[in-house]
Amino acid sequence: MLTNALATVVRELQSALGKRHVLWAPEDMLGYEYDATIDRARPDAVAFPANAEEVAAVVRITRRHDVPVVPRGSGTGLAGGALAARGGVLCVLTRMNRILELDPANRVAVVEPGVINLALQDAAAAHGLLYAPDPSSQRICTLGGNIATNAGGPHTLAHGSTVNHVLGLEVVLPDGRITWLGGRQLDAPGPDLRGLFVGSEGTLGIVTKICVRLVPVQAAVRTMLADFESVEAASEAVSAVIRRGVIPVALEMMDHEIIAAVEHVLHIGYPLDAGAVLLIEVEGLRESVEADAAQVVAACREQGAREVRVAESEAERARLWEGRKAGIGAIGTVTPNFYLLDGVVPRTRLPEVMRGVAELTARYGFRVANIFHAGDGNLHPNIMFDELQPGATAKVLELGGEIMRLCVDAGGSITGEHGVGQEKRSYMEWIFGPEDLRAMERVRLGFGASELFNPCKILPTGHGCGQAHAADARRHLATPGVYL
């Protein structure tokens, strides 16, 4: 049953976008009340714009009626950044999925925000080029979502995260105006508003076009799999590799739980009796790659690697990476639910932090599966649980908070690539003081964003948002949005 206010908003959205591109029925909202977190928040309506002008229309309509608006891509986010925390309208950008330009000579591409990450990778590969950021969800995540969270991926260690590859952004501002930030060159005069916008999680505006830089595919690559008796031994090997002066393009860790899950599904050939494996890749000129690979092998053996396997073909290399990319999804085959965390620590602190993670999860009575970007200390503990067990979700969230605190106390941070979103905003006060947080709020106000523009995200305060993630998330089976 539509309220009068919602009926008016829906009619105006339908007039701007067409009736078939606006959803409002309760049964349709079920598919949009969640992302890849364990939180839930149901929108009141969902709009599917086809271009920047239609996005601007959605923003103007919601602004005129004082209704929350939340941008969304494929819904693969892991911090609740695309949840309609206060109801309102989800602005889903998946119809805007065109690669508008691919310029091999200047090594740039211009795309819409709904383009799937892997689609751009494939298009660039036809020209011997690469779009370097490669989140593990690249087969389904959108570039707009990657922009929102400043997504990383296994190859972030050498190539950097999304912000290092974005040249310019066309955005719809909170008042409905369309403008460009940056351009076709990495360095532009004046304040770096492009860089500021990347990672803002839809709180400053909505991206409608993206200009990215492409890099050449390297002449040679070597991919190695080293297996160890324990996570601690593998963690020690991470620093040992870097100490030898080698910066791999990727340095990934998977523990025994992940190995077992992946082998159960894909039969990659990972050693089932290993405590952990490191998937390490080096690239560059053929001569330097051979030398770097030899240093990696020596460092791993020095730290007690039982075996270091070097991929002998492109097919074998792709197979090793298939297991890593599918690792998170494979966890779902061995547990009813899991809660994926995203913290960062200095890589020299990895051994002690991983011991701390194991001790905490054991104390709470849960199993944990670890798969993460070990080279830059970006941890992804996955706490396995069953939400049907009374009190399990609340305990998992409490444990998650303790693990995040462990990362901060080790000199790290509360997120490496998934963003803050709704999930971690109550943790922001651990790493930022009151003046820092007020400055961030002033930036938001400077872009003209009110509390209704992707509300309850990043900053720990906000009218009607609650005060702590743990309290919010205990209500993860939320009632429908009631703002309208």
DSSP per-residue string spanning 402-435: HHHHHHHHTT-BS-SSS--TTTSGGGHHHHS-HH
pTM for the whole structure: 0.92
Please answer whether residues 33 and 44 qualify as being in contact, where contact means their C-beta atoms are separated by less than 8 angstroms.
no
Please answer whether residues 115 and 166 qualify as being in contact, where contact means their C-beta atoms are separated by less than 8 angstroms.
no
User: Which of 254, 219, 229, 463 minimizes the C-alpha distance to 369?
Assistant: 254
Q: From first to last of its 484 residues, what are the pLDDT tens digits of the chain?
A: 567 878 999 999 999 999 999 999 999 999 999 999 888 999 999 999 999 999 999 999 999 999 999 999 999 999 999 999 999 999 999 999 999 999 999 999 999 999 999 999 999 999 999 999 999 899 999 999 999 999 999 998 999 999 999 999 999 999 999 999 999 987 778 899 999 999 999 999 999 999 999 999 999 999 999 999 999 999 999 999 999 999 999 999 999 999 999 999 999 999 999 999 999 999 999 999 999 999 999 999 999 999 999 999 999 999 999 999 999 999 999 999 999 999 999 999 999 999 999 999 999 999 999 999 999 999 999 999 999 999 999 999 999 999 999 999 999 999 999 999 999 999 999 999 999 999 999 999 999 998 899 999 999 976 667 644 444 444 333 333 333 4
Domains belonging to the chain, first-starting first, are 4-94+439-473 (3.30.43.10), 220-329 (3.30.70.2190)
Q: Compute the distance between CA of residue 308 and CA of residue 224 in angstroms, rounded to an integer.
A: 7
User: Which of 76, 91, 92, 249 minimizes the C-alpha distance to 149?
Assistant: 76
User: Which of 46, 49, 35, 47 minimizes the C-alpha distance to 82?
Assistant: 35
Please answer whether residues 94 and 114 qualify as being in contact, where contact means their C-beta atoms are separated by less than 8 angstroms.
yes
For 84, the token pair is: 């309609």
Helix locations, 281-419, DSSP H: 286-302, 314-325, 327-331, 350-364, 392-409
For 235, the token pair is: 């963690």
Q: Compute the distance between CA of residue 208 and CA of residue 144 in angstroms, rounded to an integer.
A: 8
